[in-house]
């Protein structure tokens, strides 16, 4: 269903730049949210010229997040560090895990002004959920953040999420970046990653590269479609939880796929690894 202009923000929060696309707001637009602006919707419009179903990247990512939250909460994890949390939408990390275990603690980390404004307002009444301002691509900055250290106990297992984020890191040292995070986690912790993927098959690779070209040259300026080997390297020596690194829709789906996955949904993968 299309949204009228009245569905979009009528006032701009302090510190929010509406002349530059925001990763969080582009995702919000892809999920049919209302906290986005014309410059954000333009990113999707550009990618849609080569991939009409581009919004499905965001939906596959979101559904993977929800299933991962539920899986880990039921497995007994009660601490979550969600990096690049994005704008509040239905079924956020804290909502899913605290439904399973109300005592679960969640810290979201972001440095997008839009996210910080909305997150602080949303979480004001939730004493077990907090948002910290830091650059998620600078692990030492995140790991040394006062809120992160105060609210999470790094002597006990926790879950670290880089879901739908690392493809916006354009450097080639992603595995080293992730290893810094992994090294800081206690044994028994989990790491979840979802990432744009180049399947390197004639059927889908061309689409992946066309989407990448559009994302990187859009107002957002990022969105790398890495190969399986490049994404697997970001898990370091973690033990992968079955079924391993797979299409997001194939990671413990809630039921059978009633229709074949479209081409776009073949271009995003996710997985969860455990630190022994």
**5 part of a folded domain:** no
**116 part of a folded domain:** yes
91 alpha carbon, distance to own chain's centre: 13
pLDDT of residue 62: 95
**15 part of a folded domain:** no
pLDDT of residue 123: 73
| Boundaries of domain holding 57 | 23-275
Give the chain's domain count: 1
CA pseudo-torsion sign 14, 15, 21, 26 = negative
What percent of the chain has a predicted confidence (pLDDT) above 70?
A: 93
Least confident of 9-23, 96-110, 133-147, 246-260: 9-23
pLDDT of residue 125: 76
pLDDT of residue 173: 97
**10 part of a folded domain:** no
Looking at the predicted structure, is the pLDDT value of residue 274 above 70? Answer: yes
Residue 135's CATH number:
3.40.50.150
Model confidence over 25-39: pLDDT tens digits?
Answer: 999 999 998 888 999
- Write the CB contacts of 147 (distance below 8 Å, at least 6 apart in sequence): 107, 130, 131, 132
**160 part of a folded domain:** yes
In terms of residues, how long is the chain? 276
* Mean pLDDT across 232-255: 97
Pairing of strands 79-83, 159-163: parallel
Helices (H), 34-112: 38-48, 55-74, 93-100
Looking at the predicted structure, is the pLDDT value of residue 219 above 70? Answer: yes
Least confident of 16-30, 155-169, 194-208, 262-276: 16-30
pLDDT of residue 16: 63
**11 part of a folded domain:** no
**40 part of a folded domain:** yes
**7 part of a folded domain:** no
pLDDT of residue 15: 52
Question: How confident is the prediction for the chain on average, in pLDDT?
Answer: 91
Looking at the predicted structure, is the pLDDT value of residue 141 above 90? Answer: yes
């Amino acid at each position: 269903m299309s949204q009228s202009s009245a569905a979009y923000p009528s006032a701009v929060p302090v510190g929010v730049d509406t002349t530059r696309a925001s990763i969080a707001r582009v995702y919000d637009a892809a999920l049919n949210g209302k906290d986005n602006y014309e410059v954000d919707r333009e990113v999707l419009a550009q990618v849609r010229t080569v991939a009409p179903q581009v919004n499905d990247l965001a939906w596959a990512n979101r559904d993977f997040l929800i299933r991962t939250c539920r899986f880990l909460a039921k497995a007994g994890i009660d601490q979550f560090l969600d990096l690049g949390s994005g704008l509040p939408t239905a079924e956020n990390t804290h909502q899913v895990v605290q439904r399973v275990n109300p005592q679960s603690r969640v810290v979201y980390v972001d440095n997008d002004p839009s996210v910080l404004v909305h997150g602080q307002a949303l979480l004001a009444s939730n004493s077990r959920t907090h948002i910290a301002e830091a650059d998620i691509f600078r692990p030492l900055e995140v790991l040394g953040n006062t809120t992160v250290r105060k609210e999470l106990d790094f002597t006990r297992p926790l879950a670290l999420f880089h879901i739908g984020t690392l493809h916006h890191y354009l450097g080639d040292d992603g595995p080293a970046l992730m290893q810094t995070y992994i090294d800081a986690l206690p044994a028994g912790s989990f790491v979840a990653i979802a990432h744009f993927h180049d399947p390197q098959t004639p059927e889908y690779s061309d689409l992946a590269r066309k989407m990448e070209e559009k994302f990187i040259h859009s107002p957002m300026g990022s969105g790398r479609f890495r190969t399986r080997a490049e994404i697997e390297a970001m898990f370091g020596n973690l033990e992968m939880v079955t079924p391993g690194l797979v299409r997001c829709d194939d990671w413990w789906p809630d039921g059978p796929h009633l229709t074949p996955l479209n081409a776009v949904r073949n271009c995003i993968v996710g997985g969860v690894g455990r630190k022994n």
